[in-house]
Amino acid sequence: MIRVVLADDQTLVRAGFRSILSDEDDIEVVGEAADGEQAVALAHEERPDVVLMDIRMPGTDGLEATRRITTDPRLAAVRVVILTTFDMDDHVYGALRAGASGFLVKDTEPMELLHGVRVVARGDALIAPAVTRRLISEFANRRKQPEPSPRLNALTEREREVMGLVGAGLSNDEIAARLVLSPATSKTHVSRIMTKLGVRDRAQLVILAYESGMITPGWMA
pLDDT in tens, 46-61: 999 999 999 889 899 9
Strand 27-33 and strand 79-84: pairing?
Answer: unpaired
Provide mean pLDDT across the span 34-53: 97
Provide mean pLDDT across the span 28-48: 97
More confident residue, 99 or 6: 6
Q: pLDDT per residue over 198-213, tens digit each?
A: 888 888 888 888 778 7
Cα separation of 41 and 156, whole Å? 40
Cα separation of 177 and 198, whole Å? 26
More confident residue, 131 or 54: 54
Taking residue 20's Cβ as centre, other Cβ atoms within 10 Å add up to: 18
pLDDT at position 86 over 60: yes
Lowest mean pLDDT among 29-33, 84-88, 140-144, 145-149: 140-144
Cα separation of 195 and 197, whole Å? 6
Provide mean pLDDT across the span 175-183: 93
Q: Looking at residue 44, what is its pLDDT?
A: 97
Lowest mean pLDDT among 13-17, 19-23, 141-145, 149-153: 141-145
Cα separation of 28 and 31, whole Å? 9
Q: Is 156 helix (H, G, I), strand (E, B) or coil?
A: coil
pLDDT at position 193 over 70: yes
Average confidence score pLDDT of the chain: 86
194 neighbors 205 (Cβ within 8 angstroms): yes
91 neighbors 63 (Cβ within 8 angstroms): yes
Where are any strands of DSSP class E within 27-138? 27-33, 50-54, 79-84, 102-105
Q: Which residues on neighbouring strands pair with residue 28, listed in sequence order?
A: 3
The pair phi, psi for residue 6, each rounded to 5°, is: -105, 125
Q: Is 51 exposed, middle or buried (0-12, 13-18, 19+ CB in 10 A)?
A: buried
Q: Looking at residue 126, what is its pLDDT?
A: 74
pLDDT at position 215 over 80: no
Whether the CA torsion 185, 198, 156, 208 is positive or negative: it is: positive
Q: Which residues on neighbouring strands pair with residue 6, listed in sequence order?
A: 32, 52
Q: pLDDT per residue over 132-177, tens digit each?
A: 556 666 655 666 666 667 888 999 999 999 998 988 778 888 999 9
Q: Looking at residue 172, what is its pLDDT?
A: 87
